Amino acid sequence: MANGNGTNGNGNGRQRVSAAVERVDDKMRGSQAWNSIFRPGSVYRRGYTDSPRNRSYVIMNNVLYHLHPVKVKRHAVKVSYTLCLGGISFFLFMLLTVTGIFLMFFYQPATASSWNDIKTLETAVTFGSLVRNMHRWAAHLMVLSVFLHMCRVFYHGAYKAPREFNWVIGVILLTLTLLLSFTGYLLPWDQLALWAVTVGTNMMGYTPVFGSSIKYVLLGSQQIGDQTLLRWYVLHVLLLPFVIVIFMAVHFWRVRKDGGISGPL
Amino acid sequence: MADVPDHLLQRSRERRKALGLPVEGEEGAEAPAGETPAPAEGEATTGAVGPAAGGGEATGGGEDVETPGGGKIPAHLLERSKKRRATVGGEGAATPAAAGAATAVAAPLAPTATGPGGHTQRLLTVVKSGSIQQTRAEAQDKVHTWPHLLVTEFAAVLIVLAALTIFSAVVKAPLLGLADLNKTPNPSKAPWYFLGLQELLTMFHPMVAGVTIPGVGLGLLATAPFVDKNPSHKPKDRKFAVAIFTVFVMLWSILVIIGSFFRGEGFNFVFPWNNGIFFDL
């Protein structure tokens, strides 16, 4: 292969470089380390040429792509059918996780410091303002995309047998998304956060019989304060993400087990 | 030879009698004189039974023969079988029936494991062709996930990421003043997705607006697949379900929009173009 390249100009130099590159490439791909990372059949081992076999291997040898089946119904590929809403919701969740972890490095859940932490993040941390904005807007967008995904599924009648249970999981995921967004709302500890949460928790306080207990559990005390902030912080960064990931796993798994995407209409 | 239960042998004998075939255990007219009555149990494996091979098939002319199973054996097959048996049986018959050691040469040629009536196989059951299920999957119009689906997904992800990054670079997330429990902003609003509920608060008792309606709403939503028994996916068959859901979504959206943009100080109804917008995301 090296002989065929660069016959004019600085041909010799280029030939030597490409031969060296090829030698390194061969050595790397032949090494035990490389072959231990990439499974037999991986396109990173064998190189990719377009063939039905390789198209399958691409999906099978990547843990993330592997959420998909190797083949999907033709109508499911049309953007106009799903509008990508479920996938976008998932992507936004991943984006929120990444940006959220970044934010955690600069934030303490305490009434004395939270607001200042956010202020410092916006003014003194590299990309701090951008990442916080992305986290905020992605959260709102995720509420919207999950809701629209539900509408899409309803209008396609995709909740019907055998997908009833997955619809129920979906409603749980919608509720968890709202709770995740709501718990995050309090954390900046500004006037907007405080009073939005006051309105919300007051509403839940009207639950019959258990009203005051629910409110107390949510606030961690009689009034919104340090305890509330800590509680909502743990809910927001740990408990709710943990729960939603489990439900998402079941949701995706059931999509495939119930016969892939529904339709065509 | 496998043990044949007595009741089956009995049935076989009756059937053969009804068909006018020679029945073992009796002195059939066609059976060679030297043949012992076909034993019910396993001693038929000895070479001495060689001639018995010819016992069962003396019937049959040129035409097809009805078998007990109800099918017909084509005449040419019968002919071939008869010829084959003639060669094998001929050798066996050529030796005296009680020849003993001398028959040992011919013995391997004779069918050694014969059943009642000299059959070398038995019909266990007849499966009608109609009762065999076709389990082949229906062909579906499918395409490879890579590249057809993944390319779309990558594009969607890139568009969302780019749009979000640009939007975030331009529009700042709100950060109002430090929280102060002694300073209630007017109006105080919940996050936008709860503003529909807050809007309901202006109409109903807080327990109804804040707990009952959202609780029943979520419950109905979760049980939708079990309430809607209509199996069709086609919009034209589901006018009622689509109408109900659309009304629900529209109602909710209108409540959220009113709560977001049309509520001013004291949560009173205002027009945003007169009094400004009291809304933070």
Q: What single-letter DSSP state applies at residue A78? A: -
**φ, ψ dihedrals at A122, nearest 5°:** -75, -30
B10: its two tokens: 């009995």
DSSP letter for each residue of B52-65: GGGTTT----SS-E
A144/A166 same-domain check: yes
A58/A111 same-domain check: no
Which residues in chain A touch residue B168, judged by CB atoms under 8 angstroms apart? 130, 133-134, 136-137
What was the pLDDT predicted at A133? 97
* Band (A2; pLDDT cuts 50, 70, 90): very low
**Domain-ending residue, one of A22, A46, A67:** A67
What was the pLDDT predicted at B109? 53
Shortest distance, CA B135 to any CA of chain A (angstroms):
17
A246/A158 same-domain check: yes
- Angle, helices A240-257/A85-104, rounded to nearest 10 degrees: 160
**Is residue A118 domain-resident?**
yes
3-state helix, strand, coil in chain B (%, to 5): 55, 5, 45
What was the pLDDT predicted at B131? 63
Whether B145 sits inside 8 A of A159 (CB atoms) is no
Instruction: Using the predicted structure, report yes or no on whether residue A8 has a pLDDT greater than 60.
Output: no
- How far, in Å, CA of A9 to CA of B149, rounded? 43
Report the DSSP beta bridge partners of residue A72: B143
Shortest distance, CA B75 to any CA of chain A (angstroms):
52
Domain boundaries, chain B: 6-125, 144-173, 186-275
* Residue A89: how many other CB atoms lie within 10 Å: 23
What was the pLDDT predicted at B65? 53
Q: What CATH number labels B186-275? A: 1.10.287
**Is residue A227 domain-resident?**
yes
**Is residue A264 domain-resident?**
no
ipTM, interface predicted TM-score of the complex:
0.89
- How far, in Å, CA of B190 to CA of A104, rounded? 24
* Per-10-residue mean pLDDT, chain B, length 281: 78 86 56 43 40 41 50 80 80 46 48 65 74 69 92 96 97 93 89 91 87 92 93 91 95 94 90 87 82
What was the pLDDT predicted at A1? 43
Domain total in chain A:
2
Question: Does residue B106 contact residue B47 with C-beta atoms inside 8 Å?
Answer: yes
A139/A92 same-domain check: yes
Show the domain range for A10.
2-67
Instruction: Using the predicted structure, report yes or no on whether residue A176 has a pLDDT greater than 50.
Output: yes
pLDDT in tens, A34-51: 999 988 888 888 788 899
- How far, in Å, CA of B127 to CA of B49, rounded? 33
Residue with tokens 């009995």: B10
- How far, in Å, CA of A105 to CA of B215, rounded? 37
Q: Which CATH number fits the domain that encloses residue A161?
A: 1.20.810.10
A33/A144 same-domain check: no
Mention every residue, 6+ apart, whose C-beta is less than 8 A from residue A181: A139, A140, A142, A143, B191, B193
Question: Which contiguous run of DSSP H or E holds residue B200?
Answer: helix B195-201
**Is residue A29 domain-resident?**
yes
A33/A99 same-domain check: no
**Is residue A116 domain-resident?**
yes
pLDDT in tens, A178-228: 999 999 999 999 999 999 999 888 888 888 888 889 899 999 998 899 999
What was the pLDDT predicted at A249? 96
A58/A149 same-domain check: no
A204/A248 same-domain check: yes
**Is residue A262 domain-resident?**
no
Whether B149 sits inside 8 A of A136 (CB atoms) is no
pLDDT in tens, A71-113: 999 998 898 999 999 999 999 999 999 999 999 999 999 999 9
* pTM score: 0.73
Q: Which of B152, B173, B221 is closest, CB to CB, to A132? A: B173
Shortest distance, CA A32 to any CA of chain B (angstroms):
28
A136/A238 same-domain check: yes
